[in-house]
Amino acid sequence: MHIAGNEMPGYHSGYGSLVGTAVGARHSHLCNAGYSIDQEGKEFNSEYMLEKLEKEEIERCMLNSLVMCLFARKVYDRPTVLSALNALGWNLSDDDLSEIALRNYKCKLRIKKALGFTLESVRLPKRFFQTESFRGRLDEKVAHDMITAYQQRVDKLIAY
């Protein structure tokens, strides 16, 4: 089983994990921590989940650009990152980190688009909808609707 050509993670926690892996800029469960959103314990809300997936992915684009180990991401919060970079003479602000993160994310999305990739081409293995997830059985239509909605978000983001 794979999602967008990449092997799936070793867990099946819900829509966050499945959709997050499908929409991630590099189709990895590490792109946006959808698995973590599944485990928040909140009632399922697709719009909330899509916002969280996008926000976390953008933040991780900044961390990954620093060659940061994501296992240590909580150690490297924004003040720590800024302190380290500014100690090296960069003189960056929190807004600068946000701009870098968004620029990196948009660059990844534009490369994928230029290479012909679309989220419409992603096929989700049927097995995801036949087995229980952390949150129960998933509805294939809901997953595809979320992917379509995410594609619309991406299209708006990289349009300008």
Domain boundaries, the chain: 2-158
Q: Distance from first CA to last CA of the chain, Å, rounded?
A: 35
Q: What is the DSSP string of 39-54?
A: TT-PPP-HHHHHHHHH
Q: What angle do CA 54, 56, 62 make, to 5 degrees?
A: 110
Per-residue tens of pLDDT for the chain, all 160 residues:
888 888 888 888 999 999 999 999 887 878 898 999 999 978 899 999 999 999 999 999 999 999 888 888 888 899 999 999 999 999 999 999 999 999 999 999 999 999 999 999 999 999 999 999 988 999 999 999 999 999 999 999 998 6
Q: What per-residue confidence (pLDDT) applies to 134?
A: 83
Whole-angstrom Cα distance, residue 38 to residue 42? 8
Q: What per-residue confidence (pLDDT) applies to 27?
A: 75
Phi, psi of 123 (to 5 degrees): -110, 130
Per the listing, tokens 């609707």 go with 145
Q: What per-residue confidence (pLDDT) applies to 10?
A: 84
What is the CATH T-level fold of the domain 2-158, as seen in this structure? 1.10.599
Helix axes 78-87, 94-114, angle to 10 degrees: 100
Phi, psi of 136 (to 5 degrees): 100, -170
SS3 122: coil
Q: What per-residue confidence (pLDDT) applies to 87?
A: 97
Whole-angstrom Cα distance, residue 25 to residue 41? 26
The secondary structure element, H or E, covering residue 37 is helix 34-38
Whole-angstrom Cα distance, residue 134 to residue 130? 13
Whole-angstrom Cα distance, residue 153 to residue 114? 17
